[in-house]
A and B are shown apart, each in its own frame.
Chain A
Amino acid sequence: MKPRQKRLLFVALAIVGVGTAATLALTALNSNISYFFSPTQVLANEAPQDRVFRLGGLVTEGSIQRQDDGLTVHFDVTDNAETVTVAYTGILPDLFSEGQGVVTKGRLGPDGVFYADEVLAKHDESYMPPEVESTLKTAQADGVSDTAETAGVSN
């Protein structure tokens, strides 16, 4: 093979390879990304019924209910306008507590309960997940929220 042909072959192979890889990567990405929704959006039926998404907000005070038999726990997540109940089986992160910001990942059940298989609370008590922060701000700006409890959100 002449050097020129060889180089062309290399380039062609590289393009085919990159093209294939990019297509596969994007296809796989599509099934692995999860969108974020607030309780208000969930109750407005904006969230998908059939796929995994993330739900975030504040854990409502006094809403954590541990089921006696095992590791299942129920709690409410609110954006100070609407509230969705979350069910989770497993060990909650250290930072999970009432009044704190939380992001959960899972599916919405037909009963309106969000069945989470992942609960993320960040490793810093003054940290607020950005999605949750903006959600709360939106809820406030819309005038739906009349509580002043979001003061801690600004930091």
Chain B
Amino acid sequence: MVPELGHFALILALAITLVQAVLPLAGSFTGNRTWMAMARPLAWGQLTFTSIAFGCLLLAFLTDDFSVIYVASNSNTLMPLIYKISAVWGAHEGSLLLWALMLAAWGAAVAAYSKNLPLPMVARVLAVMGMVAIGFLLFMLLTSNPFERIYPAPLEGRDLNPLLQDPGLAIHPPMLYMGYVGFSVAFAFAIAALLGGKLDAAWARWSRPWTAIAWVFLTIGIALGSWWSYYELGWGGWWFWDPVENASFMPWLVGTALIHSLAVTEKRAAFKSWTVLLAISAFSLSLLGTFLVRSGVLTSVHAFATDPARGSFILLFLCVVIGGSLALYAWRAADISGGGRFDLLSRESFLLINNLLFTALTILVLFGTLAPLIYEAAGWGKISVGFPWFNKMFVALSPLLVLATGIGPNTRWKHDEPARLLRALWLAAGLGIAAFLLVSWPGFSARDIGVGVGIGMSLWLVVTHLASLRDRLKHKGGLRALRRDINPSSRSYYGMQLAHLGLAVFIVGVTMVSNDGVETDVRMSPGDVHVHEASGYRFQFNGVTAVPGPNYRAQRGEFVVYDGEREIAVLHPEKRHYLSGGMPMTEAAIDAGLLRDIYISLGEPIGSSGDWALRLYYKPYVRWIWLGAILMALGATVSASDRRYRSVRNRAPAPAGAAEAVA
């Protein structure tokens, strides 16, 4: 009964969404205020029925209703409660439902927090979001119904993929999807503005907080995924350039460019058509990511759905969305160009450099991800692109990016004097170079130069941003005014500071763990001691014993780690065999610290005397990678809460589209 109710709710949601996509839009062109006013209640209706559907699926999982195929293939009576919940989005159908739910939630959020927006704008934005929702609801109902029944119902479910039975992965997909779907708001704003034919500073100001919040979710989602793969996959990597990771990284890169470009559009009314293009790209890449993941076209860890009908549907949907919005863009873009002029040496220029670099990085990732497909389609053979290529590309471009990130905030809008800029930046440049020399001296080996560049870049970022802060406070009474200056109307500035500090922290993490990390695979007998020469840590192996778990049996190793003579940790890595069968799982044991992680995972038993193949890793500063991501997310959150974005009315000129609505 409950699953049918869910199915029915989904159909009702589709019906509501169809109205939402048509009526308010038509109203916005004919000036029918009643039709336009329908947008908000319809968005709430969409959320209500999608929530009911989601609730029904959740209930099916909680009550172990194995007559539902999706539940039977992804759950199990033995599973702990939290994983029964996260199993709802553990596979294809449910994750789509989650996607639809989030889209509805974003729509409702727009409906709730758009009091300052002119009605035609709200109507158009929600109509566009309704169109996107139609695509997803249709996709679900036609090809991937999560409520499909099976008869006779099996007595026991198949269990959730053990890899996914982890707290990190329980919240990773929702975060990522919030980000993906969140870009639909920026997309809807852009399309709405194109439809209305009016792109101005007010439009950018409305879009900014939405884009920033979506970006925050995406950042956290990606960071969680990285953290998860670090401790769960058992070999201590934090990024693999796996196609699915790339699929989430591309919208992030474009989203980052979009955030910066929106700043220019808001402050200087420049880059308008470019900003619109970025908003379209960010969402299109989110959809492309879904296509790549869900169609299973790429060889990948995540390719668990392989069904041509689904693939073709998403591909078609993708073509309609991208093709349609680009056609609209081509038709309207001519009307929206222009905007503030700026000199070569101006903040606009540096934000433009930022945009170009992020676009270049996106294209590189896209190319590297699709290259195997291109090669195969062209008959040039079956290739794979090694991750060293991606690393090289990023290592080559990031210094430029960091350089621009340091200069940008210190530059004046519109026009700046080289002499003034030089005065503002010489200290940061000097310190950065000094740090580089200090670290690289006197060896200048590849490692030394790598670390030197990384540390130099981080210091450069920190000092340039302090210089920017000093400049900002100069006329307000110096550093003592800092307290007073941190107020709700300056949050976008301090958010920027925080996010860029996050970048500096991230760079330190990546630099140190890539250059100074020690990864040794060894074979040890119980009682053996292994010494890491570089880090000075000693690992004593005390053997492996069998331990039972709730729905698995584990082999648990014991290690005592010494720093010199001092015992610093006792670690218990595990190898788990789930009762539902399938593959064994490696649970790494980690002694985490701000300055270093010690990471041990069990490989496999060798011989009959209790020997094991083991991974003993030393990961300096690895936490800084995720700490940096957290700071970036925090910065964008602070920035999005700036009061200026909420009190729009006071400063906004005549609302977009209002004139024609009245006419």
A68 at the interface (CB under 8 A from B): yes
B385 at the interface (CB under 8 A from A): yes
Given A34-B383, A125-B582, 9 additional A-B pairs, CB 8 A: A1-B343, A21-B364, A28-B389, A28-B392, A29-B385, A34-B384, A66-B607, A91-B235, A91-B603
User: Do A6 and B344 contact each other (CB < 8 Å), given the known contacts A25-B367, A34-B383, A71-B523?
Assistant: yes
Q: Which 10 A-B pairs have the closest CB atoms?
A: A91-B603, A32-B389, A36-B382, A33-B383, A32-B386, A91-B613, A35-B381, A90-B521, A94-B584, A91-B521
B142 at the interface (CB under 8 A from A): no
A9 at the interface (CB under 8 A from B): yes
A137 at the interface (CB under 8 A from B): no
**Residue numbers in B under 8 Å from A95 (CB-CB):** 583
Interface hit among B101-109, B297-305, B453-461, B527-535:
B297-305
A143 at the interface (CB under 8 A from B): no
B320 at the interface (CB under 8 A from A): no
Can you list 21 A-B contacts with CB-CB less than 8 angstroms, sorted by A residue number?
A1-B343, A9-B344, A21-B397, A25-B364, A25-B367, A25-B393, A29-B371, A32-B385, A32-B386, A33-B385, A33-B389, A35-B381, A36-B381, A91-B603, A91-B604, A94-B585, A124-B304, A124-B583, A127-B303, A130-B299, A131-B382
A92 B603 Cβ-Cβ under 8 A: yes
**Residue numbers in B under 8 Å from A131 (CB-CB):** 299, 382
**Residue numbers in A under 8 Å from B352 (CB-CB):** 10
B388 A32 Cβ-Cβ under 8 A: yes
A122 B371 Cβ-Cβ under 8 A: no
What residues make up the interface of B, taking CB atoms closer than 8 Å to A?
161, 163, 233-235, 299, 301, 303-304, 341, 343-344, 352, 356, 360, 364, 367-368, 371, 375, 381-386, 388-389, 392-393, 396-397, 521-523, 582-586, 603-604, 606-607, 613-615
Provide the bound-state CA to CA distance between A17 and B384, in Å. Answer: 26
A29 B607 Cβ-Cβ under 8 A: no
A12 at the interface (CB under 8 A from B): no
CB distance from B641 to the nearest CB of A (A): 34
Interface string of A1-20 (1 = CB under 8 A from B): 10100100110001001100
**Residue numbers in A under 8 Å from B522 (CB-CB):** 71
A18 B360 Cβ-Cβ under 8 A: yes
A interface, size bucket: 35 or more
Interface string of A91-125 (1 = CB under 8 A from B): 11011000000000100000000000000001111
Provide the bound-state CA to CA distance between A122 and B161, in Å. Answer: 13
CB distance from A44 to the nearest CB of B (A): 15
Provide the bound-state CA to CA distance between A154 and B382, in Å. Answer: 20
A94 B234 Cβ-Cβ under 8 A: yes
B299 A129 Cβ-Cβ under 8 A: yes
CB distance from B518 to the nearest CB of A (A): 15
From B163, B383, B606, A66 is in contact (CB under 8 Å) with: B606
A62 at the interface (CB under 8 A from B): no
Provide the bound-state CA to CA distance between A136 and B215, in Å. Answer: 44
**Residue numbers in A under 8 Å from B583 (CB-CB):** 94-95, 123-125
**Residue numbers in B under 8 Å from A90 (CB-CB):** 521
User: Do A33 and B603 contact each other (CB < 8 Å), given the known contacts A17-B356, A124-B161?
Assistant: no
Q: Which residue of A lies closest to B234 (CB)?
A: A94
Provide the bound-state CA to CA distance between A127 and B384, in Å. Answer: 18
Provide the bound-state CA to CA distance between A6 and B349, in Å. Answer: 11
User: Do A34 and B386 contact each other (CB < 8 Å), given the known contacts A3-B341, A9-B344?
Assistant: yes
CB distance from B294 to the nearest CB of A (A): 15
User: Do A36 and B383 contact each other (CB < 8 Å), given the known contacts A66-B606, A71-B522, A94-B586?
Assistant: yes
Scoring A1, A28, A91 by chain B CB atoms within 10 A of each residue's CB, the highest score goes to A91
Provide the bound-state CA to CA distance between A155 and B352, in Å. Answer: 49
A29 B360 Cβ-Cβ under 8 A: no
Q: Which residue of B lies closest to A97 (CB)?
A: B583
A43 at the interface (CB under 8 A from B): no
B interface, over-half SS: mixed
From A6, A10, A54, A124, B384 is in contact (CB under 8 Å) with: A54
Provide the bound-state CA to CA distance between A100 and B286, in Å. Answer: 34
A33 B371 Cβ-Cβ under 8 A: yes
From A68, A127, A129, B607 is in contact (CB under 8 Å) with: A68
A interface, over-half SS: mixed
Provide the bound-state CA to CA distance between A10 and B341, in Å. Answer: 13
**Residue numbers in A under 8 Å from B613 (CB-CB):** 71, 91
**Residue numbers in B under 8 Å from A125 (CB-CB):** 582-583
From A9, A10, A14, A91, B615 is in contact (CB under 8 Å) with: A91
B364 A71 Cβ-Cβ under 8 A: no
Provide the bound-state CA to CA distance between A66 and B523, in Å. Answer: 12
**Residue numbers in A under 8 Å from B163 (CB-CB):** 123
Provide the bound-state CA to CA distance between A105 and B352, in Å. Answer: 41
CB distance from A108 to the nearest CB of B (A): 16
Provide the bound-state CA to CA distance between A3 and B522, in Å. Answer: 64
**Residue numbers in A under 8 Å from B301 (CB-CB):** 122-123
B356 A33 Cβ-Cβ under 8 A: no
From A25, A28, A35, B383 is in contact (CB under 8 Å) with: A35
**Residue numbers in A under 8 Å from B234 (CB-CB):** 94
**Residue numbers in A under 8 Å from B381 (CB-CB):** 35-36
CB distance from A53 to the nearest CB of B (A): 9
Q: Which residue of A lies closest to B300 (CB)?
A: A122
From A18, A24, A29, A71, B396 is in contact (CB under 8 Å) with: A24
A70 B371 Cβ-Cβ under 8 A: no
**Residue numbers in A under 8 Å from B385 (CB-CB):** 29, 32-33
**Residue numbers in B under 8 Å from A122 (CB-CB):** 301
B344 A1 Cβ-Cβ under 8 A: yes
B384 A36 Cβ-Cβ under 8 A: yes
Scoring B233, B299, B364, B381 by chain A CB atoms within 10 A of each residue's CB, the highest score goes to B299
A33 B303 Cβ-Cβ under 8 A: no
Interface string of A55-98 (1 = CB under 8 A from B): 00000000000101011000000000000000000111011000
**Residue numbers in B under 8 Å from A35 (CB-CB):** 381-383
From B161, B344, B389, B604, A92 is in contact (CB under 8 Å) with: B604
**Residue numbers in B under 8 Å from A94 (CB-CB):** 234, 583-586
CB distance from A102 to the nearest CB of B (A): 13
Q: Which residue of B lies closest to A13 (CB)?
A: B356
CB distance from B370 to the nearest CB of A (A): 12
Provide the bound-state CA to CA distance between A36 and B583, in Å. Answer: 26
Q: Which residue of A lies closest to B361 (CB)?
A: A21
User: Do A33 and B386 contact each other (CB < 8 Å), given the known contacts A3-B341, A25-B393, A71-B522?
Assistant: yes
**Residue numbers in B under 8 Å from A130 (CB-CB):** 299
CB distance from B553 to the nearest CB of A (A): 15
Provide the bound-state CA to CA distance between A33 and B364, in Å. Answer: 14
Provide the bound-state CA to CA distance between A95 and B382, in Å. Answer: 23
Provide the bound-state CA to CA distance between A32 and B392, in Å. Answer: 10
**Residue numbers in A under 8 Å from B393 (CB-CB):** 25, 28
CB distance from A45 to the nearest CB of B (A): 16
CB distance from A6 to the nearest CB of B (A): 6
Provide the bound-state CA to CA distance between A92 and B612, in Å. Answer: 12
B384 A33 Cβ-Cβ under 8 A: yes
**Residue numbers in A under 8 Å from B304 (CB-CB):** 124, 127
CB distance from B311 to the nearest CB of A (A): 14
Q: Which residue of A lies closest to B392 (CB)?
A: A28
**Residue numbers in A under 8 Å from B585 (CB-CB):** 94
